[in-house]
Homo-oligomer: A and B are copies of this chain.
């Protein structure tokens, strides 16, 4: 049995399938070629047991032998230490990867998720729209000059940034940013993404089948 265990929900409705954040960890581990298992917590019971593992009552969280940690971004940085595929080991390559992981979480996703969340309520104007446009333009400028975010090569930062940008409502905003759109296509074209996406869809399809059988 593998020492690496990704914890995720036992079941979710169709909407979030393919977007539950365990996919970030699956994808990273597929890229790294490291074996891992997947275990589940019941989404119907976000109680004390879950909160003891994840204080915001979310998934994923990760077990690595005796080590436990939550937050997909933290799990990605933890896994990146295990594989040169995810993060170069030289000091500037590490710093470059780290800064782009944090930029994805705190400069980009800090804008895209609230923009998406507020947009669900269909306001006449989304107060996050201007800020979103500024961030996408900054990324467009960066990616007009290179293929990958960090260290001149694919890293775990690309997994994270692509998973943030591929949300369908957001992806439909990318026409004015052709370099960013091409970057997203480039990252999502990786076989490890296709495998992790299919694995997540299969995981929840199996949960449907198990429910139907009871």
Report which A residues bind B (CB closer than 8 A).
51, 55-58, 64, 66-71, 73-74, 77-78, 91-92, 95-96, 98-99, 101-103, 105-107, 109-111, 113-114, 117-118, 121, 123, 127-128, 131, 135, 138, 141-142
Contacts and interface: CB of A to CB of B under 8 A. Distances in A.
A153 B107 CA distance: 28
Select the residue from A102, A110, A123 with max chain B CB neighbours within 10 A: A102
B78 A95 contact: yes
Given A56-B138, A138-B56, A105 B103 contact: no
Contacts of A58: 107
B110 A109 contact: yes
Contacts of A99: 69-71, 74
A56 B107 CA distance: 8
A123 B107 CA distance: 24
A98 B70 CA distance: 9
Given A56-B138, A92-B67, A95-B69, A110 B106 contact: yes
Give the number of copies in the complex. 2
A76 B153 CA distance: 24
Given A77-B98, A121-B127, A92 B106 contact: no
B55 A141 contact: yes
B105 A106 contact: yes
30 contacts: A55-B138, A55-B142, A56-B103, A56-B107, A56-B135, A66-B91, A67-B91, A68-B92, A70-B99, A71-B107, A73-B106, A74-B98, A74-B99, A74-B103, A77-B77, A77-B102, A78-B95, A105-B105, A105-B110, A106-B110, A111-B114, A114-B128, A117-B127, A117-B128, A117-B131, A118-B127, A118-B128, A121-B127, A123-B127, A127-B127
A140 to B, nearest CB: 11
A95 B111 contact: no
A67 B58 CA distance: 35
A110 B107 contact: no
Nearest to A112: B110
